[in-house]
Amino acid sequence: MVSVLSSLFGIEHIELAEDIVSDTFLTATESWSAKGVPENPVAWLYVVAKNKTKNWLKRDTFFQQKLLTDLRRNIPEGEEIAIDLSDRNITDSQLAMMFTVCHPSIPAESQVALALNLLCGFGVQEIADAYLTNKTVIYKRLSRAKEKLKEAEIKIRQPTFSEINDRLETVLKTLYLLFSEGYYSISHNTVLRKELCVEAMRLSYLLVEQPHTNQPAVNALLALMCFHSSRFDARVNDTGEMVLYHEQDETRWNRELIERGEYYLNQAAASPVLTRYHLEAAIAYWHTHKEDSGEKWNNILDLYNQLLVLEYSPIAALNRTFALAKARSKQEAIMEAEKLQLTDNYFYYSLLGNLYTDIDDQKAVQHYETALKQASTPADIALLEKNIEQIKHKMRH
């Protein structure tokens, strides 16, 4: 709805679009609490949003003097201004908005923050968590990005071929961050927020369905999301605790999503282009094979090696050390992990706790206890406490 109304009003009135949509949902909260949820809640929301928009156009002096005049330039006299919330127009508006907020007039990091905010409904805190920064920094980024778009008088319209090529990477990074926040959510103190992952997959699917944006990297990203999503039901037990990969019940994996992931990965491989999403999707593919074979872990290790050459990141390097332990030895993995010195990351100490278990249990406990001090979600804390207790129990007996 924000995308459609922003397309109608123009990017310079984006806050108004957000206000109307927020007011629509506030009305829904009040009405549905009293009368119950309507039979078709989506249609209800669209009707209310249309009515609120029309009321704004009628009563607001600014609109009467300026915006309404602009809108009427392309509308025959006597005809009502159409507020088109059809599926086709919503899709078109969202695609146009994706590439509009990724305009080169604003820095890449601000583009991603703005897209997360406008397209995906991320709050400032969630974006701050995704960037590992604070709310003030993100608030400033969003404000400056919106001002830049207004100053440049950017139009919300379908992107050209060159605009797609120039901005697609930022669009994909946005969707990747959205999925990551849902797959492992820090800001909401929960291990999994499926609705964010579903939203990321929906927007990625929009790109795959359009001929001009159906590119190898898009298919690779969607494959990655399918593979990870296939293990949702196995990642958390009935009491909300996180279940480690090797303890997951394979029968709870979604085979249909795995097959969809394989389809999109094959589509991505039809071109010689190789991106980080191709490599991460291939790693996720191997994780849909439960057997603990040498072939599996050697393939995963090789993929991580390629990923670090293509696009180095400390987290990818950390994940590589786990694959190294499985493919070769824990001792070799410990040496590689300790070189990283990611002392402000709880996963670093948690991994070292895992690697030192059965080699030096005292050190394993120390690392797990350090990780425990840095952990933020109840599920992580419960898992670390369980690991510590298991090792201490073994040491006592």
151: pLDDT confidence band, cut at 50, 70 and 90? confident
Cross-strand pairs, 185: 190
363: pLDDT strictly greater than 90: yes
Q: pLDDT at position 191, please? A: 52
Residue with tokens 């898992």: 383
Spatial distance between the Cα atoms of 185 and 376, rounded to a whole number of angstroms? 10
How many CB atoms neighbour CB 224 within 10 A?
Answer: 27
27: pLDDT confidence band, cut at 50, 70 and 90? very high
Mean pLDDT lowest among 18-27, 71-80, 216-225: 71-80
Task: Average the pLDDT over 13-25 and give the result.
Answer: 90
Instruction: Write out the DSSP string of 198-210.
Output: HHHHHHHHHHHHS
Q: pLDDT at position 7, please? A: 85
Q: pLDDT at position 65, please? A: 59
Q: pLDDT at position 291, please? A: 83
Question: Nearest-CA neighbor of 121 among 2, 299, 231, 280?
Answer: 2
104: pLDDT confidence band, cut at 50, 70 and 90? confident
Q: pLDDT at position 61, please? A: 56
3-state secondary structure of 26: helix
Burial grade of 178 (CB within 10 A; 0-12, 13-18, 19 or more): buried
361: pLDDT strictly greater than 80: yes
Domain ranges of the chain: 1-85
Structure tokens at 271: 């071109």
- The secondary structure element, H or E, covering residue 374 is helix 361-374
Spatial distance between the Cα atoms of 88 and 380, rounded to a whole number of angstroms? 42
Mean pLDDT lowest among 30-44, 67-81, 115-129, 202-216: 67-81
83: pLDDT confidence band, cut at 50, 70 and 90? confident
Instruction: Write out the DSSP string of 199-245.
Output: HHHHHHHHHHHSTTT--HHHHHHHHHHHHHHTTHHHHB-TTS-B--G
Report the share of the chain in percent with pLDDT over 90: 51
3-state secondary structure of 82: coil
Spatial distance between the Cα atoms of 40 and 369, rounded to a whole number of angstroms? 50
Spatial distance between the Cα atoms of 68 and 78, rounded to a whole number of angstroms? 13
Question: Nearest-CA neighbor of 201 among 189, 218, 184?
Answer: 218
Spatial distance between the Cα atoms of 363 and 344, rounded to a whole number of angstroms? 18
Spatial distance between the Cα atoms of 259 and 261, rounded to a whole number of angstroms? 5
Structure tokens at 206: 């929009």
150: pLDDT confidence band, cut at 50, 70 and 90? confident
Mean per-residue pLDDT of the chain: 87
- pTM score, two decimals? 0.81
Instruction: Write out the DSSP string of 117-167.
Output: HHTT---HHHHHHHHTS-HHHHHHHHHHHHHHHHHTT----PPPHHHHHHH
Q: pLDDT at position 292, please? A: 82
46: pLDDT strictly greater than 80: yes
* pLDDT tens per residue across span 253-311: 999 999 999 999 999 999 899 999 999 999 999 999 988 888 999 999 999 999 999 99
* pLDDT tens per residue across span 171-226: 999 899 888 877 876 555 555 577 778 888 999 999 999 999 999 999 999 999 99
CB contact at 8 A, 258 and 288: yes
